[in-house]
Each structure stands twice: as structure tokens, then as C-alpha cells.
Amino acid sequence: ASHTLLKHEGISTAPQPTKSLVVANGGLGNGVGREELSTVLKEMGEVETLLMPPQKPYAFVTYRSEESAQRAHAHLNGQKLQCGENSVTLYLSYVDSVTCEEKNSVPLPEGLLLVEDFVSPEEEALLLAAIDWSSTNDDVTAQKALKHRRVKHFGFEFRYDNNNVDKDKPLPAGLPEDCLPVLERCVRNGHINIMPDQLTVNQYESGQGIPPHVDTHSAFEDTILSLSLGAKTVMEFRHPDGRLVPVVLPGRSLLVMKGESRYLWTHGITPRKFDVVPACDPESPAHTTSDLGPNRNLTLSKRGTRTSFTFRKIRHELCRCAPSPSPPSAPSIPSCHADATRLEEEY
């Protein structure tokens, strides 16, 4: 294990006992949750820090005393740890220092804003109750069960076959009345300067998601609002140059996409049952899971049912966005000239 850690991860282990250990196979990237690992480590003594770098198969633990570290080494090395349905064998080695490659904090894409607690729990309940998923009014709201979620549309149907809206065919159902106070607040607070007239409600069960896409430039105006209700999820923003910014969307938060975040970056939700999110730290809320100082604690968060309300304003004139500044080697950038921007099959 020591050889592999050095060769593949650049972690050199110490020949003598120290207070810190690397726990090979005990990482988030191996499906090990913070709670489970922390529980067994704490049984060996007082834990000072537990670092779980994202996507890595290992974790680092530092004990208050060397005796505790020795106890952990003696009792946990080679032991199995059960994490849900997953069983892993832990291998522990001493390290002189805990070096977690420090990444600079990743800024949100230009034009992206996340407003936490934008609606109250009462408003959330009201909005969720306003959506009737029983299939009796399928036609009115163009309800569809897609491959990885179900959707309903109000105002205008968004069509996934041509990634567009039929602007001359409004749906019989306008936006639900319960949305109005929320939308008025959006206008009042300057998140959008005109009332939206189109709403897509997406409902995702655990394990579901939405392919990365840019909302069709010619179909909608600049600002797109997405209200998250129910369980939190992680939405991934990708720049054509390869940058990836995963953004945690807590329940009752409002995501405002304008400018580059709306026109250039794709957004999508990977279908999976767990997300890597910052461990609860009320003192330093973090929205991007790439925002990893060496002391950023991460954990696995089990997904539940999430319902999002995406509000948009239909565009009646040509989109005037600037051509995308793509390097020749970059993947094709969604632009007005390449409006079909869903990159994966929806059905």
C-alpha cells in the first residue's frame, strides 16, 4: 500500500509511528462516508482532524496522541468497513505530515448567483402542492416522463425533440398563481427585470439527473431562474475550456443564471444517488465542492426527491449574444448558431 500511495498519489509514508495516518481505501472516492469512517476512527482515540479529499480513495486522520494512532493502526489495518452495501478493506500507514494538495478556491461562473433560503418552508410546501402529478391534466401541462426525471410545463411547452418552444402555441395552463409572490420578489430584488412567462417543473428521484446543456439562446431571454425545492443536489457547470464547477443547490435556494453562466457554460445534474458536499459547517457555507482548502471537510450526501421550478422569459427577437471565444481545440460551444444544445439523449 505504501508503494502504491507514493507512486500514484505522491504520499510518502513514515517508517515510525506518528500521530497521523493515511487510510487507504477509506476515501470518498471509494464510496466511504465521513460518518462511517469517523465512527470507527473515534473508537481508537480522540481525533483531531479527518480529511477526506474529494474523489480520492483515501483519507487522512490525525489523532490527539501518538498512542491513539498506534491503536488505530493495530486494530483497523486490514479490517473491513461496511458502507451501506459496499464493503472495503482499510489499510493504514503512518505519515509525517498531512498534505492535501491545496487548490485555490474556485469562483462561480460569471453571471451565476445562488441565493439561499429564498423561499420559506411554508412557500416551499405551497409550491410543491401546486403541482399535480396525477396524469389527468397531461395535455394542459405537457407532462412527460423523461429518461431520468419527470417534467411539467406551464405557459409554453419546452420541446426536447428540437430544444425549443413553440412561441405561437401557449399552453392552456399559465404559471401557477402560487408562483407569483416568489416571482415578484425576484423582480423586486433585481434577480430578473421582467416577469417570466414560461415554467418547467422537473422532478428528480434519487439517482436521476439532467444532461449537461445550455438553454437554447433563441428560445429564452438572458436570465434563467431555478428554484430548488426538497432535497439538495449538486449541479455541474462546465466551461468549454474544460473547467468544471460543481455547485451545491440546497432546498429552498434560488439559482440565477445570467451572462456567461447562461450562454456559455453548460449546466447539468449527473444521475447518481450520492453527492460529495462540504460537511455541515455553519461558519463557512461553501457552494462549490471544488472550493477545497486543506481543511475543507467533505462528506457524502444521500440524494432524495428534488423538484425544481425553472422560470424563463420567452424571447421574441433574435439573440444578440457575442460569439463564443473558443480555442480551436475546445469542444464545440453552444451558441446562437448551434442552438441544439442538449448533449445527451433525454428520452
The 8-class DSSP code of residue 138 comes to H
How many Cβ atoms are within 10 Å of 204's Cβ, its own excluded? 22
CB nearer ligand AKG, residue 62 or residue 308: 308
With CB under 6 A as the contact rule, the residue among 253, 308, 324, 341 that binds ligand AKG is: 308
Q: Is residue 141 involved in binding ligand AKG (CB under 6 A)?
A: no
Q: Per CB under 6 A, does 216 bind ligand AKG? A: no
x/- mask, ligand AKG, residues 175-204, rule CB under 6 A, reads: -------------------------x-x--
Tell me whether residue 30 or residue 216 sits nearer to ligand AKG (CB atom).
216
| Overall size of the chain counted in residues | 347
Residue 231 CB, nearest approach to ligand AKG (Å): 12
CA distance 65 to 159: 61
Answer for the pair 343, 212: CB distance below 8 angstroms, yes or no: yes
Determine if 335 is a binding residue for ligand AKG (CB under 6 A).
no
Instruction: Tell me whether residue 252 or residue 267 sits nearer to ligand AKG (CB atom).
Output: 267
Biggest CA–CA distance in the chain, Å, is: 75
Nearest residue to 98 via CA among 285, 290, 284, 293? 293
Cα–Cα separations (whole angstroms), residue 242 to 51, 266, 329, 333, 338: 27, 11, 11, 11, 19
C-alpha–C-alpha distance, residues 215 and 262, integer Å: 7
266 binds ligand AKG (CB under 6 A): no
Contact flags string 219-258 toward ligand AKG, x per CB under 6 A: -------x--------------------------------
Distance CA 298, CA 285 (A): 12
**Residue 210 is a binding residue for ligand AKG (CB under 6 A):** yes
The contact set with ligand AKG (CB under 6 A) reads 200, 202, 210, 215, 226, 267, 308, 310
